[in-house]
Chain A
Amino acid sequence: MGKVLELDRVYKAYKFGFIPKKKQVLKGISFYVNEGEIFGYLGPNGAGKTTTIKSILNLIFPDAGRITIFGEDSLKPRAREKVGFLPENPYFYDYLTGREFLAFYADLLGIHGRQKEEKIKYFLNLVGMEKAADLQLRKYSRGMLQRVGLAQALLNDPALVILDEPMGGLDPIGRKEFRDIIVNLKKEGKTVFLSSHILQDIEMICDRVAIILAGEIVNQGYLGDLISEKVLYTEVIVAGLPASEFSHLGESVSTSGNRVLLKVYEEEHIDRIIRLVQEKNGKIISLIPRTETLEDIFVDLVKNQ
C-alpha cells in the first residue's frame, strides 16, 4: 500500500494586526495517508485542521516542512490533478444553478462534450440533487450546498478526496447518506481524507485517524489500536428502588421518575446489584457495558493538554 499523502514536519504561523503578531498554528505536523483508506483528521475547533488542509492544497504556504501528494510536491498544480476537495461551509458562485456550477468546474478540469453532460447527470444523481439542479445556488440550503459541493469534488474522478467537515450542517439522514457515499468511495478504491470534530462519524467509517490539538499531532494510528476493547464501566438502569440503595455499589448519575441510572465500575458489584434488585422487587431496565470510544480518548487528550 503506497502513501497517497505525506506531511513532513509542516510549520505555519499567521501574522495578525497592524503591528504583526505571530501565531503559530501548525507546529511540525507529520502524518501520512495510505492508499485506499479513509483517514480521519480529528481535532477541536481552532486546532489547525483547516490550516493543514489548506497547506495540502496550496491555498496557504507552510513556513517549513514538505507535503507530497502521490509523490509529487504539493506546490505544483500537477499534484492536485487527482485530488477532489470539499471545503468546510462551502461557498460557491451563488448566481449559478447547480447544473451550471458543475459545468463550470467540468470546464476547468477539461471535461467536455457528452462526457461532461453524463458526468454532471451522474454526480447530481449520486448526491441526490437532480431535482434542484436548475435552481440557483443562492436558494440552496446548507445541506444542499454540501451535496453539490461533494459532486464538484468528485467530478475529476479523484484518487484522493479531501473533505473538510463534510457532515456539518447535514440532518441525520443526510449524514447517513454522506457516510454511505464516503464508504462507497473507498470501495471504488479511492482514498478519503476526512476532517471532522464529529467523533461518531469518524469512528464509524475511518480506518486510521490522527488527532491534532493546538497545532500538534498528539496521537495517530489505526482506530482498532487506539481504542481498547476493555470494558470501562457498565451503565445500569434500575426501576422501583431509590438511588440511596446503591450508593455503595456504583455512582448514581441521574434519576428520572422511578428510574435510576448507575455507573458501575467493578464487575462483582453488578452481580450484587442484580441480587439486591431481585430481593427488593425492583426491576432492571437495561445493563450496558461501555468500552472505550474515540470520544474518551479525545476528551482525555484535550484535558491533558
Chain B
Amino acid sequence: MKVSTIASNTFKEAKRDRVLYLLLFFAILCFLLSRFLGLLTVGDRVKIIKDVGLASISLFGMLMAILMGTGLVYKEIDKKTIFTLLAKPIHRWEFLLGKYLGLVLTIFIMTVLMSVIFLVVLFLHTFTIEWNILLAILYIFFELCLMTAVALVFSTFTTPILASLYSLAFYLIGHLSWSLELLIKKVKSGGGRAILKVLYVILPDLENFNFKTEVVHQLPIPTKLLGISFAYGLVYTAFLLLLAILIFRRRDFI
C-alpha cells in the first residue's frame, strides 16, 4: 500500500516533467520522418519505417528512463522532501520500490503512446497489422525497465548529471558487449581469453532484448530465446533493485 502511494505520487510528479513531452515530440517527429526516409531508399520502404520507428521507441524511451530515473532519488534528497517521507513509519526499500514502479508506469504509458502513433503511421502505409511488432516493442519495454533500474542505482549515490553519464555508458556497453563473444572466439585460450569470458558474464547484454532485425525482416523468433531474454531481464532488474536498496539502506541524509 505504501509502495503504491509513493508510486502514484512519483507518476504524478513524472508526468509534469517537460523533458518527457519533448522526447515524445522528437519520437513522433522520427516516426513521421521515417516515411520520408523510406521515399529516399531503394528497396523496401516498409522496412525503413519499421526500423526507424522501433529504434526511435527504443532510443527515446531509453532517454526518458535515464533522464527521469537519475533525478528520481536525488531530487528528493536535494529538495529535502525525503525528510518528512522517511520520518514516517516506512522502510527505505518501500520508498525506492515505489519510486521505481512510479517511473516504470510513466515509461509504460509513454511507450504505449509512442507505439500507437508508430503503428498508426505504419498502418497508413501498409494497411495491415503485424503482431510481431508488438512483441519487439514489449521487449523494448523490458529493456527500458532494466534501464530505469540502472538509473535508480546511480541516482542513489550521485548527482543526476554523473548518473546520466554512467547510465548512458551502461547502455552503450550493454549494446556492444556481444562483440566480446566474437572476440573470445578469436583469442587463443589462456589468461586473456579467461578475462574476456569473465567480462562477458559480468557486463550487461542488452542485445538480448533486441528483436528489431527479426521483426523488420520477418524472420522467425524462437520461443526459447524469448523466454531466456525475459528471464535475463527479470533477474538483472531484480539484482539492480537489490543493489539500489543496499546502497540506500545505510545512507545518511544530511
Name the distance in Å between A106's Cβ and chain B's nearest Cβ: 9
Binds B, one of A90-98, A119-127, A205-213: A90-98
Determine the chain B residues whose CB is within 8 A of the CB of A108 once the complex forms. Answer: 2, 5-6, 85, 88, 90
Residues of A within 8 A of B224 (CB): none
Instruction: Answer yes or no: B13 CB below 8 A from chain A CBs.
Output: yes
Which one of A81-89, A180-188, A233-241, A296-304 contacts B? A81-89
- Give the CA-CA distance A85 to B89 in the complex, in Å: 11
A57, closest chain B residue (CB): B87
Report Cα–Cα, A109/B86, bound state, in Å: 12
Interface status of A49 (Cβ within 8 A of chain B): no
Closest to A82 in B: B89
Inter-subunit contact B81/A95 (CB<8 Å): no
Tell me if A80 and B87 are in contact (CB < 8 A). yes
Cα separation A109 to B254 with both chains bound (whole Å): 24
Query: Would you call A54 an interface residue if the criterion is a C-beta within 8 Å of the partner chain's C-beta atoms?
Result: yes
CB atoms of B79 and A105 under 8 A apart: no
Beta-carbon contact of B89 and A92 below 8 Å:
no
Residue among B6, B12, B79, B87 making CB contact with A91, cutoff 8 Å: B79
Is A83's CB under 8 angstroms from B87's CB?
A: yes
Contact partners of B12 in chain A: CB under 8 A = 95-96
Category for how many chain B residues contact A: 20 to 34
Tell yes or no: B80 within 8 A of A by CB. yes
Alpha-carbon distance A81/B6, docked complex (angstroms): 18
Do residues B81 and A92 form an inter-chain contact, with CB atoms below 8 A? Answer: yes
**Cβ contacts A43-60/B at 8 Å (1 or 0 each):** 000000000001001111
List the A side residues contacting B5 at CB < 8 Å: 104, 107-108
Question: What residue of chain B has the Cβ atom nearest to residue A55's Cβ?
Answer: B252
Do residues A87 and B89 form an inter-chain contact, with CB atoms below 8 A? no
Chain B residues with CB under 8 A of A152: 84
Which of A80, A104, A162 meets B89, CB within 8 Å? A80
- A-side contacts of B252, CB under 8 Å: 14, 54, 59-61
A224 lies within 8 A of chain B by Cβ: no
B87, A93: Cβ atoms closer than 8 Å:
no
Tell me if B253 and A95 are in contact (CB < 8 A): no
Name the distance in Å between A58's Cβ and chain B's nearest Cβ: 7
Residues in A with CB closer than 8 Å to B91 are 77
Q: Is the CB of B83 within 8 A of A87?
A: yes
A110 at the interface (CB under 8 A from B): yes
State whether the Cβ of A78 lies closer than 8 Å to any Cβ in chain B: yes
Q: Chain B: interface secondary structure?
A: loop
Digitize A256-277: 1 where CB-to-B-CB distance is under 8 Å, 0 elsewhere: 0000000000000000000000
How far is the CB of A196 from the nearest CB of chain B, in Å? Answer: 18
Q: Is the CB of A215 closer than 8 A to any CB of chain B?
A: no
| Residue in contact with A59 in the complex, picked from B2, B6, B13, B87, CB distance below 8 Å | B87
Cα distance, A222 to B176, chains bound together (Å):
69
The verdict on A149 contacting chain B, using a C-beta distance below 8 Å, is yes
B250 cross-chain contacts in A, Cβ below 8 A: 61
Do A14 and B84 touch across chains, with their CB atoms under 8 A apart?
no
Query: Which of B13, B84, B86 makes the CB contact (< 8 A) with A90?
Result: B84
* Given the contacts A54-B253, A60-B254, A87-B80, A80 and B88 also touching, CB distance less than 8 Å: yes
Contacts of A162 in B (CB 8 A): 87
Report A-chain residues with C-beta under 8 Å of the C-beta of B9.
Answer: 93, 104
Q: Is B198 an interface residue (CB 8 A)?
A: no
Q: Assess whether B1 is interfacial by the CB under 8 Å rule.
A: yes
Taking the closest CB of chain B, its distance from the CB of A119, in whole angstroms, is 15
Cβ A14 vs Cβ B89 within 8 A: no
Cβ-defined contact, A77 with B87, below 8 A: no
Bound-state Cα–Cα, A61 to B249, Å? 10
With CB as the reference atom, state the residue of chain B lying closest to A15. B252
| Chain B minimum-CB-distance residue to A105 | B88
Say yes or no for B16: interface residue by CB 8 A criterion.
yes
Q: Which residues of B contact A89 (CB under 8 A)?
A: 80
C-alpha spacing A195/B59, complex, angstroms: 50
Residue on B nearest A109 in the bound complex, by CB: B88
A-B contact pairs, 24 of them (CB 8 A): A54-B252, A57-B87, A58-B86, A59-B82, A59-B83, A59-B86, A59-B252, A61-B250, A77-B89, A83-B87, A83-B89, A85-B87, A86-B84, A91-B80, A92-B81, A93-B9, A93-B13, A93-B81, A96-B12, A104-B5, A108-B2, A108-B90, A152-B84, A156-B88
Apart from A81-B89, A109-B89, what are 6 other A-B pairs with CB-CB below 8 Å?
A57-B86, A60-B252, A77-B91, A90-B84, A95-B12, A107-B5
